Each structure stands twice: as C-alpha cells, then as structure tokens.
Amino acid sequence: MAINEETVKQVAKLAKLEIEEESIHTFTKELDRIVDMVEQLEELDTEGVEGTYHGLPQKNVWREDKVQQGTDREALFKNVKTRKDGYIEVPAMFDNGGSEA
Amino acid sequence: MNFLAHTLEELHEKLVNKELTAVELMESVYANIEETDERVGAFLTLNKEEALAAAREADEQGIDPDNVLSGLPVGIKDNISTKGIRTTAASKILEEFVPVYDATVVEKLKQAGMISVGKLNLDEFAMGGSTENSALKVTRNPWDLSKVPGGSSGGSAAAVAAGQIPVSLGSDTGGSIRQPASFTGLVGMKPTYGRVSRYGLIAFGSSLDQIGPFTRTVKDNALVLNVISGTDDRDGTSYRGDTPDFTEGIEEGVKGLRIGVPKEYFHEDAKETAIVESVRAALELYKEMGAEIVEVSLPHSKYGIPAYYIIASSEASSNLQRFDGIRYGYRSENIGSLEDIYVKSRSEGFGLEVKRRIMLGTFSLSSGFYDAHFKKAAQARTLIRQDFEKTFEDVDVLVAPTTTSTAFEIGGKIDDPLAMYMADVLTVPVNLAGVPSLSIPCGFSEDMPIGMQIIGKHFDEQTIYRTAYAYEKATDHHEKKPSFKGGE
C-alpha cells in the first residue's frame, strides 16, 4: 500500500480540496492502485538520463517590449461574482479564520 | 445537405458555383443537429443567430474562390475559448464562464472564413477517454448509441461522425483526438507539439496539449491544419519555424517509403483480434503500393502510461490552481472564510476524475515524492522520445493501431479509473515524444470502426498525410455511414 487515508487528507489540504468523509475510503483505494501503477517506473534504469520537461526544446523566446492595447477592464470583470469600487470583493480574510497556507 | 457525402472541397465548389448559399448550408447544419443531437448529445452550446448572421455576410461578400474554407461550418471543443460564447470545459466550475477573447485557432478559422456553429462536449477538462466525465451531458457514438464516442474530444468526434458538421476541432493531451477519431471512423490529427498555438486552450498538461482537426477525409484534415498552424506571439511554446502547405505532395503515393511497424504496439493476444488484423492488412496494402515495411522496436513504450499519468496530472494540478472561486467560475455559497472560497468552490466545482488527477499530481510533486515520481517520469519521457528519434533515423513513418479495443459500452469502464487509463497505452507515447500522429479508419470489428495511427517525425505532418491519403484512395472505410442503432 503506497498511500493511506492520512496521506490523502494531507495531499487534499495542499491541493485545496476536501474529500468527503464517506467517500475517502474508496478514493484512497483507487488512488493507491493508480500510485502503485505509476510506481512501475521504479524498475526503469534512468541513471544519468536528463529529464524532458518541455514539449519542444525551445529556449528564451523573446518579443519586443512595446506597448500594446490590453483587454478592456470592464470586459475582464464580466465573469466576476462580486465587486466593489473597481475591485473583486471577497469575504473578510482576517476576521473569521484566514487562509492556513 | 448531408455532409457524409461531401468533402470540404466539394462543398466549397458548390458555394462558389452558387449551387448552394452559405446561409442554406448553415441552415442545414442546424437542421442536422436538430434531427440527430437529441440522440447523440454532441453539442453543449449552439450559437445559431451569430452563425446565420456570419453566413449571410459571407453570401453578401461573395465566397472567395481561392479560399477553400470560406463560408464552411465548424464545431469547437468546449475547452477552446470563444469570445462571447460560453466555454465550460464540461465542468461545473466553468458552467457559466463566457471568455472575453478568442483562442488563436478560433481567430485563425474566422480569418479563413469558417463559421463556428457551437461548442462540443468533452470529458471534464479533457480528462478521460469516453466523454462520460462531462459534468454536463452524455455523448453517444453514432455507430452504436449504447457506446461511448471516445474521449476526451467525444463531442467533436460524434458531431462529425453523425454528419451534423463536416469538421471540428479537438485537443489531444494523451490521445484525446486520435482515440475518439478511431472510435467513430474519422480522421483525427494530433500535430507536432508547437505546431498549433495553445493560446486560449484551457490548459490541462501544458507540455503535451495540442489542438487538431477531426474530418471525414485526409485531405480535408490537411486543409484545416493549414489554417490553424503557425507561430503565435501569445504562445511561447509555439513553433518558430515555417508552416508548409500540408496538402503539398499528398498525392505522391508511398512508393519507396519506409514504414516502421513498432512491435510493442501489436497486441496479438488482444480480445478484439480484428484490430491487429486490419492494421496488418493495411500494411500488406502499403507493401503492394511499393512501400517498404520494416519491423522496429520502441522498447520504452510500456513506461508510457505511468510516465504520462504522472506528468499530465502534475501539470494539471498546477494549471487547475487558477480555479479558486475568486475571479471567475463557480463560487460556493457555503462560505465563511477566504479559505472556504478556495476549498469549497473547488470541491463542489470539480468532478471526481478531475479531483483524482489533481491529487495524483499534487502527490507526485510533493516533497519526498518529487524525485521518485515527477523527475523519474521526466527521465522516462526522455527515453521514450529517444526511442522515436532513433527509429526515425531508419524509417519515414510508423504505422500501428490507435487503440486496443473499439468503442466500449457507456458505463463499461467508468467505475474502474485504472482500466480507463490503461486504454491509452497506444496513444500517450506520441504526446510524451511530441511527435505528430494521425488516426484514420482502417476497418470494422462487429460494425464498430477501427483506427490506425500514422506517426511521423517532428514537424513532418506532410509525410503522414501523404501516407494516409494513399491508403484512403485505395480503400472505402471512410465512405461507410453510421447506423444510429442501439441506445435507449
């Protein structure tokens, strides 16, 4: 068993997700099977092999630093749920329990 | 108008000759959708008024005889941003999201005169292989309505296969264009990584994602890729090199071509023997047409699935952090604190499969597991890429089955995520290596289409299309029509 319910809770916290108590058992079992599967990689000898982290080996793509018309500010607010004085409004951060991060 | 009977060039000719107007064509699209989509369920959003207005404008301006796509209808996978038209990624978290800009591919299609008719269903955030992970709708396979259309671009495949539209765009991170193309008897292209701009594509696995077309014929496919390809300043990973005309040399045939047959892709003991048999028959045909068939090996293929699921999920866990319930998207009403906005909105907004991938990715990137998971997967990726590069020193293209089974029953695999992952075994290595691959129909197994993929060198889509075209000319699989049988 690669992972247990404690690990799942810890990872969920990092990912800002909540796994419901009644489904955590099944979720853990499934994730454990998946982790087991991906850990097949252990048997592969990768000594001295450089990792590939990009789809295309292309580095330092530059563009000219010139002023361009941005997206209209009002348009950007179109998908915002709550706003106030030109800002996005969110619940109070410090009064009733802030971020634990 | 039945699109199943016409290529894009034929439709273009009818428009130019005024046998047909763009408005009539567009009206027939919506009539097709009206007639079949209650059963198929391909579309999530239709923009009929805008599309008809654009068609009227095309008629008034006159169809450009030199521009083969002008006035023709296209459908867009709903993880590609369309300005002013709802773009959901088939997720509850984006159910009401309306983008304020067009993806580069959408801009390019518009510039070419194509008219978007609506947005197509997918597995939520393109994560899945059956479109069953859509939070919004079930999509069915027109060849058998009790079966899945494949995924994640299931709506894009089903709509073209059902004859609702002649072409659609999908995206392919681990097989999401080729597998549904294979399940629905279509031609589907995953271009070389970087060939097509990803600007405006809702990011899943950024080092793997590519947009590509679904069509019924090979040449149609090349014509659409011509238009959507190219360098884009808004996507730093887009290719800086030239875009050729992908139809150039398409009719030259395969005489003298060296076709590699990767032995790891031929599961002779598979349940559906018709798949390997059909691809072997296609190779026989290529041989008769003058190609040289060479057995080759891609020895690290078996590490494709584990490497892919670590890399794609890690990138996804990072990309999906932007869904925080603040600036856009679903916000939980169950909020007491700022932390609640994040946790509740994400937990209520994401579906089970998306959560599973975010969790796997977060785990793989977490301290203590980074080296054994993410770094190891990146190294495996190098070995997989080198397998392809070495093989391509000797052969021009590779030919192999696209999938190990034809379309399966709706509900058949959805409760077994691992089985669903394993089904991607023949498609993910291509994404890890960044090479292009086209799936084309090559036969039937109990009336369900079989797909064959033609894999090419980096940025050599031309040879792929040439190889595919030769096969299509010599066979008639692409002319068969779906039965709409089965279902409820």
Residue B197 lies in a domain: yes
Residue A7 and residue B208: Cβ atoms within 8 Å?
A: no
Q: Which chain B residues contact residue A91 at CB under 8 A?
A: 335-338, 340-341
Q: And the tokens for A45?
A: 């000898």
Those residues with Cβ within 8 angstroms of residue B339's Cβ, 6 or more apart along the chain or in another chain: A97, A98, A99, A100, A101
Query: Long-range contact list for A58-67, CB < 8 A, 24+ apart?
Result: A58/B194, A58/B236, A58/B237, A58/B239, A58/B240, A61/B236, A61/B237, A61/B240, A63/B233
Domain count, chain B: 1
Nearest to B363 by CA among A62, A10, A23, A19: A10
Q: Which chain A residues contact residue B376 at CB under 8 A?
A: 41-42, 44, 46
Q: What are the extents of the domains in chain A?
A: 5-42
> Residue B102 belongs to a domain with what CATH number?
3.90.1300.10
Q: And the tokens for B209?
A: 């994602």
Rounded to an integer, what distance in angstroms lies between the CA atom of residue B472 and that of residue B220?
Answer: 12
Per DSSP bridges, beta strands B115-120 and B43-46 are antiparallel
Residue B460 is predicted with a pLDDT of: 98
Q: What is the pLDDT of residues B211-228, one digit of tens each?
A: 999 999 999 999 999 999
Query: Long-range contact list for B49-56, CB < 8 A, 24+ apart?
Result: B50/B85, B51/B26, B51/B115, B51/B116, B51/B117, B51/B118, B52/B23, B52/B26, B52/B27, B54/B26, B54/B115, B55/B21, B55/B22, B55/B23, B55/B25, B55/B26, B55/B115, B56/B22, B56/B23
Q: Mean pLDDT for chain A?
A: 89
Q: What is the pLDDT of residues B29-87, one digit of tens each?
A: 999 999 999 999 999 999 999 999 999 999 999 999 999 999 999 999 999 999 999 99
Rounded to an integer, what distance in angstroms lies between the CA atom of residue B437 and that of residue A55?
Answer: 15
Residue B400 lies in a domain: no
Beta strands per DSSP E along B191-237: 210-215
Q: Which chain B residues contact residue A58 at CB under 8 A?
A: 194, 236-237, 239-240
Residues spanned by the domain of B228: 3-250
Q: Which chain A residues contact residue B421 at CB under 8 A?
A: 34, 37
Quote the minimal CA–CA distance from B466 to chain A in Å: 24
Residue B341 and residue A90: Cβ atoms within 8 Å?
A: yes
**Residue B148, φ and ψ in degrees, nearest 5:** -75, 155
The string of DSSP letters for chain A reads ----HHHHHHHHHHTT----GGGHHHHHHHHHHHHHHHGGGGGS--TTPPP--SSS----------------HHHHGGG-S-EETTEE----SSSS-----
Quote the minimal CA–CA distance from A94 to chain B in Å: 8
Residue B379 and residue A51: Cβ atoms within 8 Å?
A: yes
Q: Look at the block and give the residue holding tokens 């909540």.
A: A18
**Residue B74, φ and ψ in degrees, nearest 5:** -145, 150
Residue B328 and residue A37: Cβ atoms within 8 Å?
A: no
Please, what are the averages of pLDDT over each run of 10 residues along chain B (488 residues)? 88 96 97 97 98 98 95 98 98 97 98 98 98 98 98 98 97 98 98 98 98 98 98 94 97 98 88 95 98 98 98 98 95 90 97 98 94 96 98 98 97 94 96 98 98 98 98 96 87
Residue B100 and residue A35: Cβ atoms within 8 Å?
A: no
Instruction: Indicate the SS3 state at residue B437.
Output: strand
Residue A98 is predicted with a pLDDT of: 47
CB of A18 within 8 Å of any CB in chain B? yes
Reply yes or no on whether B219 is catalytic: no
Residue A95 is predicted with a pLDDT of: 56
pLDDT of A101 > 50? The answer is: no
ipTM: 0.93
Residue A1 is predicted with a pLDDT of: 64
The string of DSSP letters for B280-332 reads HHHHHHHHHTTPEEEEE--TTGGGHHHHHHHHHHHHHHHHGGG--SSSSS---
